[in-house]
Structure 1
Amino acid sequence: DGGGRAVRVALSVAGGGARLRFAPGQWVDLVAPGAPEGSVGGYTIASTPAELARTGTLEVLVRRSAHPMASWINDSMAVGDDVALRVGGAMVLTEAHARKGILAVAGGIGISPIAAMLANAAECATTTAAGGDQALPRAPAPALTLLYSCRRAADFALVDRLENAAEAAEAAGGRLRLVAHVTGDRGGDGGEPSLSRRWEVRSGRVTPQALQEAFDELAARLQRRGNTTEGEGPTTVACGPPAATDAWARALAELRPTPTA
């Protein structure tokens, strides 16, 4: 996935996952039996608690790198190999966050936790989420927006998960708005990303202006549906390369609803 820069790994959890609890946004530390010291790899879970309950599996996206665990996963791991795992991380969303709406921005494989959060918010509007007290509870008419930035058209990952989440949001009477930002030259890598018509495709980086437009559109959507009070904005979350994430976080922290009168 992601133009061959990462591999999607489905982990079948022993016992069907009945004893495993996680919240969207958390990660798993993975280690292969007999692996050398220091080869533990931490990877954010891209799937949802409800999916674990249905299928007994977790999915992670592992970027190709020289890290021992990443190298083993990308180059040596085979179907049926055993790995040990433990859940960690505190970047999760609550029912209150979902009810306020979610504006998410992601870059590269930073899409992993964002995809899980958005999919879970959409799923929980129509089904009861599994995963215990940490799972994002049922929420009405999801109002969600994603701005997803990659350099090349081929680099967009987890597209099927995001489009399925958009379908789930629509089925619940809500919307997940999907906006793809291609920062490189589209003409140099085959043009448009392989995205459905659900996506708005734009050239260039996710700028503060783009974030403000998305924030205002989502806030207006929430206001029309009565999901929030006037002057209150949606929940915001960002994940991607460190420099980009820092810039997005600063811009998101400064967002306020644009006056309409």
Structure 2
Amino acid sequence: MAYAAVLTAGLFRGSVCSQAALSRAIPRALRHLTLTSIMKSKRKTDHLEKTANAVRQEVVSAAKVCGIANESPTVKRLRLLVADQDFSFKAGQWVDFFIPGVSVVGGFSICSSPGLLEQERVIELAVKYTNHPPALWIHNQCALDSEVAVRVGGEFFFDPQPAAAAGNLVLIAGGVGINPLLSILRHSADLLRERADTGRGWETGTITLLYSAKNTSELLFKKNILDLVNEFPKKIACSFHVTKQTTQISAELKPYITEGRITEKEIRDHISRETLFYICGPPPMTDFFSKLLENSHVPREHICFEKWW
């Protein structure tokens, strides 16, 4: 069966990547993954060293770039067709990102849902421009049909079982910290659709996204998020925050925008015994909100955060 890159409003430049062609690419891609590049990175601040104690899958799978888009002026989004049928992930997890010829290993959260992988063998990543070699490669050298390899890791994920009690989700994102939370939001929407279609699966409560960025151009995936809000108006809500907005806010975004940071009151308003909190953003933001929740007597097992970069 052939898999084609999905074209989204002309953003993605798609290529057709067949399963057979990708299977032939596996040996070529993996030949470039030396023991040095898999086991360590050059600098102490690199991804593999920061996540040395994190749980990882054993599968290292070849993948091919089959879509590239500019998500914002500083963030590039990739679609990767993944070859290995044993490759899987849970919403919120990240990948080790191996690039032929680049000794430093990247670490990027998956922003797509597990459902997209199941249906199309595709995952999506959104990578901010930095001087880190893997991010530089993605922004300056990556092209359609580029061959890479990926391996799943991380304990920050949302994977409710069908028999789990109904509960609410509050997702708190800052900047590119939206990536794993978007995966969780998309997975939650998949569960809502499954429940509506079959009457089975996890019974979701309400899902609230509180998302802060410098300005509206740096609010990633705005359309994707608002499409889900409009699809499930009684279940999914979002509040966008901008901290350094200098231009006029568009009419379609204005109802969802607050100028200023996410406040303590907003967080406290969502506290209940049935609510799980997922936080991902700059470390000071993550520290602040996780401590606020602890001090508000939210059980620690109801506070999940990602802070490895």
Per-residue Cα deviation, 1:88-145 (whole angstroms, up to 9, x for no partner): 00101232788311011100000000011111012112228xxxxxxxx932254100
Cα distance between partner residues in 2 of 1:254 and 1:194: 38
Where 2:232 maps in the other structure, the secondary structure is helix
Partner of 2:128: 63
Partner of 2:263: 207
Contact 1:31 1:84 in 2 (8 A): yes
Contact 2:91 2:159 in 1 (8 A): no
AA aligned to 1:179 is: S
Where 1:127 maps in the other structure, the secondary structure is helix
Cα distance between partner residues in 2 of 1:98 and 1:194: 39
Partner of 2:275: 234
Cα gap change, 1:56 to 1:194, in 2 (>3 Å): farther
Q: CA deviation at 1:168?
A: 4.5
Contact 2:91 2:158 in 1 (8 A): yes
Cα distance between partner residues in 1 of 2:211 and 2:277: 14
Per-residue Cα deviation, 1:15-64 (whole angstroms, up to 9, x for no partner): 5xx321100010011111222x2x11000000011011122210011110
Partner of 1:131: none
**Mapping of 1:130-209 within 5 angstroms?**
138-170=201-233, 174-184=234-244, 186=245, 188=246, 190-192=247-249, 196=253, 200-209=256-265
Partner of 1:134: none
Cα distance between partner residues in 2 of 1:98 and 1:54: 27
Partner of 1:34: 101
Q: CA deviation at 1:77?
A: 0.5
Pair member with larger Rg: 2
Which of 280, 289, 301 aligns to 1:248? It is 289
TM-score with structure 1 setting the length: 0.78
Quick one: percent identity of the two aligned structures?
Answer: 27
Cα gap change, 1:113 to 1:104, in 2 (>3 Å): same
Cα distance between partner residues in 2 of 1:98 and 1:160: 30
AA aligned to 1:41 is: G
Contact 1:154 1:194 in 2 (8 A): no
Where 1:161 maps in the other structure, the secondary structure is helix
Cα gap change, 1:145 to 1:70, in 2 (>3 Å): same
Cα gap change, 1:11 to 1:193, in 2 (>3 Å): farther
Per-residue Cα deviation, 1:151-186 (whole angstroms, up to 9, x for no partner): 11211002233223324534xxx41111011111x3
What is the alpha-carbon root mean square deviation over aligned residues? Answer: 2.4
Cα distance between partner residues in 1 of 2:251 and 2:186: 20
AA aligned to 1:52 is: L
AA aligned to 1:115 is: L
Structure 1: unaligned runs, 5 residues or longer: 129-136, 220-231
Contact 1:147 1:180 in 2 (8 A): yes
Contact 1:144 1:176 in 2 (8 A): yes
Cα distance between partner residues in 1 of 2:289 and 2:100: 38
TM-score with structure 2 setting the length: 0.66
Q: CA deviation at 1:194?
A: 7.7
Which of 60, 76, 80 aligns to 1:7? It is 76
- Runs of 4+ more than 6 Å apart: none
AA aligned to 2:133 is: P
Cα gap change, 1:193 to 1:138, in 2 (>3 Å): farther
Partner of 2:169: 102
AA aligned to 2:80 is: L
Per-residue Cα deviation, 1:66-100 (whole angstroms, up to 9, x for no partner): 11111000111100000011000010123278831
Structure 2: unaligned runs, 5 residues or longer: 1-69, 299-309
